[in-house]
Structure 1
C-alpha cells in the first residue's frame, strides 16, 4: 500500500515537473525568438513605415538595448516581489507588448513598443533557467538544462526561417502576433504549477550601481550596433559611446567590490566554475549568432538561393542542436561533462573548417551537413556548460547569477556579430585590391576571356562587368576568412576546459 502511494506521488511530481518545463520553455522560446525573427521582416516594415535603412534598424537596436539594461534587475526584483510573480508579470507584459508591436502604425510607436517588449522579456530566460534548476534535483540538472537549452538555442536558429515564412505568406505584423497564443499558454502553466519563492524585503536597491551598469551596457550595445554604419572611431558618437561603456563599467566594478550592499553580489565571483562559465558563455555567444549572421547573406547574395530556400537549408542546424541536447540529457549522469564540452567544440571546429572551403559549386547537401555538425557541437557544448557553471554555486545566488549568465552570452553575441561584419567589410576591400593587381594585359586568363568575348575592355560596360566579378570573388573569399576567424575563436576557447571542475569536486 505504501509503495503504491509513493508511486502515485512520484508520478504526480513527474507530471508537475513536465508542465513546469513546458511552461518555462514556451516563455524562453518566445523571448529568444524575437531576437532574430524580426530581422527578416525589416524591409517590409521599412516600406510600411516609410523609414530609411538607418531608421528601421532601431527596431532591432531598441529591443536589444532595453533587454540588456533590464536583465541585471532580475535577481533584485525577484527577491523583492517573488520569482513567480515576476515571471507572470514578465510573460503578460511581453505578450501585450507583442500585440502593440504588431498593431503599430508609425516608426516611433514600434520603437517604443519594442523597448517595452525588451524590458518585459529581459527576465524570461534567466527566470526559466533558475526555475528549472530549483525544480529538478541536482543529479537531474543535466537533463533539465538540456530541455531548457533547446528553447534558448533553437529559437535564434529557427527565427529567420519562421520570420521569412510569416512575412512571405501573411504579413510582417504576424512576426509579433505569433507570440500571443504561446504567451497565454506559458502564463497559464506558470500560474498553475510554479512555486513562489520567499520574499526578501531587507535587501536595498543600489541605484547608483544599477545606473553605472545600465549606462555601460547601453553604451556598449549602441557602440556595437551603430559602429559599422558610422565607420567606427571616425565618428564622434561612436567614440563617446565606447568611452562611456569603458568608464561606467570600471566605476561599476570598483563600486561593486567596495560598497556594503552592491547591485550584484560579489561573492558569486569567488566560484571558479561560475566565472569560467561566464567566459565560456561569452565565447559561445560570439560563435552562436555570428555564424548565423554570415550564412543567410552568403547563401542569398553569392549562392543565388531565394529566402525560403535559405531558411530550409539552415533549419537542419537546429535539428543538430536538438539532437546534441537530447544526447546530453541521456548521458549527463554517466560521463564527465567536460568531455562532452570538448567533443562539441571539436565538432564546431570541424564544421567551421569545412565552411572555409565553401565555393559557388558546393551542393545543398554540403551546406546541410556542415550545419548539422555545427548544431550538434553547439548542443553538446551549451547544456553541459550551463550545468557546470552552476554546479558549485550556492542556490541563493541563482536568480542573480542566471541573469548575469544570459546577459554575458547576449553581449558576446552582439560583439560577435559586430566583429564578423566589420572583419568581412575590411577583408573584402583588401581582397579586391589584391585581385585587382592581377587584372592586367599580362594575365593569360584575362586575355583568354577577352578573346572569347566574355569582356569588352574597350567599353565602360565591359570594365564595370569585370569589376563586378572581382568584387564578387573578393566578397566570397571574405566570408571564408570570416568562417576561419570563428574557427580560431573555437580553438582558443578549448583551454578554458582545464579550469572547470567536475560537479562535486568542490563545495
Structure 2
C-alpha cells in the first residue's frame, strides 16, 4: 500500500485484515453502513447546535440576568471558536490519526454540551460554548471524509446525498426542536439533548472506525495563527456589526484591520512558505476554489432564509413559535426529496446542469417572495418553502463531488475543512447582511411611506385634527404602528430581492468548473461529462 493511500492501523472493530475492505481506508464493507450512521449522527448533532440555541436566547437572558448584547456572545463565541479550529483539521488528522481525532472531538463536544446545560452564569456558559465550538469544529469535515472513504467510488454520490441531508436539514430542524424544548421544558435542554446523541455517535465510531494514519507533516504555526486570527476577526465583524452600528464603532474598525492584515499575510505566507498549512498542490485545484465559493453561497442563501422567515412569521404575522417552526420545516421536506434522488440523478444529467438548476429554482422562489404582502397565506408560504428546499437539495451533493473529484485522497480532510469553513463564513455573512439590510431599509421605508401620508391621501377631513381629547392621538398611534408593519414588510421583500440578485451573480461560476482529469471507471468518471 502506498503512502499516498495511507497506512491503516486496525481499531478494535477488526481482528486482522478486514474482509472486503475499501482500498486505503481499512473500512470493512460489512461495517460501512454502521459507520456512516455514526458519522451522520455526529454531524447532525454539530449542525443542529448551530441553530438550536437561537430561539432559547431570550430565556437564557432572563434566567442568567444578562442583557441582549451580552447574551449574544452565547452564539458568537461558538461561531468564532469553530472558525479558529477548522483550519487545523487536516494537520491534527495526520498527527493524531483520524480515529483518535474523531473520538476526541465527539467526546469533547458531548461533555461541553453537558457543561453548557449546567452553566450557572453567563460567563461560564460562554466559556463552555467556546470549548464546545473548538471540539465540535472537526465533526463536519471528518464526517464528510468518512462518508467518502466508506463508500466505493460508484456510490459516493449517494453517500454525499446522505451527508447533505444532515447538513442541510439540521439548521432547518434546529429552531423547531429548540422551540419545542424551550417551551415544554427549559433552555438547558437545547444542550442536554446532545448527550444521548453524542454518546451513540461515539459508540458507533469507537466500534467501527479503523485508524488511518498518514505520514505526519510539520505544523505551519504561523499560517495557522494568521488564518485563525483573520477568520476569528471576520466572524466577529459579521456577528457584532449590527449590534455596535458597524463602522461607526471603533471595535469594527479594529477587527477589520486585523482581519485584512492577517488574511493578507496568510496568503503571502502560503505562497512563499516552505510547508504551508494547506498544500499548494491542493490550492491550485480550480474545482476546489469554485466549490468553496459555491458552498459559501449555499450557506448564505440557506441561512439568510432561515433567519428572515421566523422574524417575519412571528414578528409581523403573529405566528406561534411552534407554528412558525412547522412552516420552516416544509423547506426540509423539499431538501429531503431532492437529496433522496440526487445521487442517481447526477449519474445521468450533466453536473453543471444540476447545479445551475438548483440555483435557478432558488432564484425563482426568491422572486416569488417579492410579491408577498402581509396577507400572504400559509399555502403560498409552504409551497414556496417546499420548492426552495428542492433547489437547495440539488446543490450540496454536486458541489461536494465537483470539489473532491479531482483531488487525491490525501487532500480530502483538508478540502472538507475548507468546504465547511466556506459554508460557515457564508452563513455568518448571510445573517449579518439580511439583518443589517432589514434594519436600515425598515427605517428608510418608514420615512418613504410617511412622506406620502396626508389628510387628503387618507380621505380624512383636516378639521378633524382640531378635535379635543385623545381620539386623534390614539388614531395617529394606530396609524404609525400600521406604517411600521408595512415598512418592515417592504424591508423583508427587499432582502428577498437581494438574495435573488446574489444567487444570479454566483451562477456564472458554475460554467468555470473543470472536468476531472482523474477518470477511473466509476461514478466520478461520468460526473463531469
- TM-score (ref. length: structure 1): 0.94
Q: Say if 1:341 and 1:380, in contact at 8 Å, map to a contact too.
A: yes
Q: Say if 1:20 and 1:190, in contact at 8 Å, map to a contact too.
A: yes
Q: Say if 1:81 and 1:199, in contact at 8 Å, map to a contact too.
A: no
Q: Are 1:95 and 2:95 matched, yes or no?
A: no
Show structure 1 runs of 5+ residues with no match.
1-7
Among 147, 153, 159, the alignment partner of 2:162 is: 147
Q: Aligned equivalents of 1:49 and 1:319: distance in 2?
A: 36
Q: Aligned equivalents of 1:195 and 1:505: distance in 2?
A: 27
Q: Aligned equivalents of 2:407 and 2:155: distance in 1?
A: 16
Residue 284 of structure 2 corresponds to 270
| 1:471 Cα offset (Å) | 1.3
Cα deviation per residue 1:265-301 (whole Å; 9 max; x = unaligned)? 2221211111110111111111010111000010111
Q: Are 1:34 and 2:49 matched, yes or no?
A: yes
Among 499, 513, 516, the alignment partner of 1:500 is: 513
Residue 468 of structure 1 corresponds to 481
Cα deviation per residue 1:446-468 (whole Å; 9 max; x = unaligned)? 428998xxxx9973332222221
Q: Say if 1:215 and 1:245, in contact at 8 Å, map to a contact too.
A: yes
Q: Tell me, what secondary structure is at the counterpart of 1:197?
A: strand
Q: Say if 2:21 and 2:28, in contact at 8 Å, map to a contact too.
A: yes
Q: Aligned equivalents of 1:306 and 1:287: distance in 2?
A: 24
Residue 178 of structure 1 corresponds to 193
Q: Tell me, what secondary structure is at the counterpart of 2:36?
A: helix
Residue 376 of structure 1 corresponds to 390
| 1:335 Cα offset (Å) | 2.1
Taking the TM superposition and a 5 Å limit, the aligned residue runs for 1:69-468 are 69-201=84-216, 203-443=217-457, 445-447=458-460, 459-468=472-481
Q: Aligned equivalents of 1:448 and 1:323: distance in 2?
A: 57
Residue 523 of structure 2 corresponds to none
Q: Aligned equivalents of 2:161 and 2:144: distance in 1?
A: 11
Residue 5 of structure 1 corresponds to none
| 1:329 Cα offset (Å) | 2.0
Residues 120, 174 of structure 1: CA spacing in aligned structure 2 closer, same or farther, 3 A cutoff?
same
Q: Tell me, what secondary structure is at the counterpart of 1:421?
A: helix
| 1:9 Cα offset (Å) | 5.7
Among 38, 43, 48, the alignment partner of 2:63 is: 48
Q: Say if 2:405 and 2:518, in contact at 8 Å, map to a contact too.
A: no
Residue 499 of structure 2 corresponds to 486
Q: Aligned equivalents of 2:392 and 2:77: distance in 1?
A: 28
Q: Aligned equivalents of 2:313 and 2:379: distance in 1?
A: 13
Residues 305, 135 of structure 1: CA spacing in aligned structure 2 closer, same or farther, 3 A cutoff?
same
Q: Say if 1:257 and 1:266, in contact at 8 Å, map to a contact too.
A: yes
Q: Say if 2:74 and 2:125, in contact at 8 Å, map to a contact too.
A: yes
Higher helix share: 1
| 1:199 Cα offset (Å) | 3.9
| 1:425 Cα offset (Å) | 1.2
Show structure 2 runs of 5+ residues with no match.
1-18, 521-529
Cα deviation per residue 1:417-465 (whole Å; 9 max; x = unaligned)? 111111111111111111111111331x3428998xxxx9973332222
Q: Aligned equivalents of 1:64 and 1:377: distance in 2?
A: 26
| 1:336 Cα offset (Å) | 1.8
Residue 4 of structure 1 corresponds to none
Cα deviation per residue 1:377-429 (whole Å; 9 max; x = unaligned)? 00011111111111111111111111111001100110111111111111111
Residues 136, 504 of structure 1: CA spacing in aligned structure 2 closer, same or farther, 3 A cutoff?
farther
Q: Aligned equivalents of 1:338 and 1:128: distance in 2?
A: 25
Residues 239, 504 of structure 1: CA spacing in aligned structure 2 closer, same or farther, 3 A cutoff?
same
Q: Aligned equivalents of 1:77 and 1:20: distance in 2?
A: 21
Q: Tell me, what secondary structure is at the counterpart of 1:501?
A: coil
Q: Say if 1:149 and 1:383, in contact at 8 Å, map to a contact too.
A: yes
Pick which of 208-217 and 11-20 moved more.
11-20
Residues 411, 284 of structure 1: CA spacing in aligned structure 2 closer, same or farther, 3 A cutoff?
same
The RMSD of aligned alpha carbons is 2.0
